[in-house]
Chains A and B, each alone.
Chain A
Amino acid sequence: MTHLTPTQALHGSAIIQALKQARVEFVLSVPDICTSEGLLRPIANDPDLRLVRVCKEDEGVSVCAALSFCAKRSVLLMQQTGLMDSANALRAIAVDYRNPVCMMIGLLGKEPDVPPQQSARYGVRIIAPMLDVLGIRHLVMSSDEDIPACMQAIDEAYERSQPLAILFGRNPQ
């Protein structure tokens, strides 16, 4: 087992605490092996967050958009495969319609200490360029130190009414 120094570690508990402080009330999710244990399971057991399990990621795009009309903040937790499958929903509902759809995306196959764009895996390497083509702002969350900037980005997404993608640089523990 690789032991991470505290600055390298990414803790699900710290992410959940920060989401609450960012006034996120709803989490939409299709399970992702990268985040299931470290983030999704504790969210499911947290009485302060409403977990809505969706069958497909593009449903979550629409649910998040509609919740924003109701002055409710949400995040959509998924794997990069779901992002690619949701391209048309993101194009229309998030980008064309300027809705604050905030996604947190696990990168299956990503090497923990390699930037996503430099991954040896094609399915990881293309994600940031794909978000650039869609016109969706993206950040990488690799350690607890990255959490405040990501939460600030969620604030800005809602203030500016625009989508956001947070890519997990390593699996939360």
Chain B
Amino acid sequence: MNATRPRDEFLRMLAGRYTGQLVVSVYTTCFEWMAIRPDALNYVAVGAMGQAGSHALGLALGQPDQEVWVLDGDGSLLMNLGSLVTLAGAKPKNLTHFVFQNGSYEANGRASLPVAHAIDFAAMARAAGIADAHQFSEPEALDHWLLHRGPAAGPALVDLRVLSSATSYPQRYDYIHSAEARDTFRAALKALPHTGARA
């Protein structure tokens, strides 16, 4: 399955289907998502080195009535592949992990992955125990799946074959590492129903 469409087309499609999910996103995908769909419930303080899915798992366990999306990169997930097994073991029904596979470490100079554009993350997810795993190269196919997916029995992983976006988006590193970003998310989460007052 070859990539023919840019990442931001997929992100715009997801933005059109957004219904209040907590969204955990990583670096380049994060910058594009913040520009396409700015929202207080964007969780941007993930650190680096493959941690997005683990933050999302914490949110999914802590807010079981709230759907959580992860917008991850291929290079990022490859730094923490065991997290797929952890996810399969924890079995959150409210977590969907989107992997944007562009074959490069885009935030670090667009250097190639050891193997580019040929990794089957959906197969990896199934092998890890995540049965609800899919692969798409067209935003329309992703849209169709989102519209017709039934009630979740566990976590889902969606491997998206993408090209880098042609549009240039602001790289807001200062914001994603800021106390303001964390405080904004914390306040927005606290304002949701079913969230406790303090840890």
Contact = CB atoms under 8 A, between A and B. Distances in A.
B47 A97 contact: yes
A43 B185 CA distance: 31
Contact of A58 (B45, B80, B182): B80
Contact of A70 (B45, B62, B83, B179): B62
B162 interface: no
B62 A67 contact: yes
B141 to A, nearest CB: 30
Interface in A71-119: 71-73, 88-89, 92-93, 96-98, 100
Nearest to B52: A62
Nearest to B81: A55
Chain A contact surface mostly: helix
B118 interface: no
B196 A72 contact: yes
A151 to B, nearest CB: 14
Interface residues of B, number: 35
A55 B85 contact: yes
B47 A59 contact: no
Contacts of A66: 43, 54-59, 62
Contacts of A92: 47-48
A84 B198 CA distance: 30
A26 B57 CA distance: 12
A140 B195 CA distance: 33
A69 B195 CA distance: 9
A72 B46 contact: no
A56 B81 CA distance: 10
Interface string B180-199: 00100110011000011111
B38 interface: no
A67 B22 CA distance: 13
Interface of A: 26, 50, 52-56, 58-73, 88-89, 92-93, 96-98, 100, 158
A-B CB proximity, top 6 nearest: A66-B58, A70-B62, A55-B82, A71-B196, A92-B47, A62-B54
Given A66-B43, A67-B58, A69-B62, 9 more contacts: A63-B61, A66-B54, A70-B58, A70-B59, A70-B189, A71-B197, A72-B61, A89-B51, A93-B47
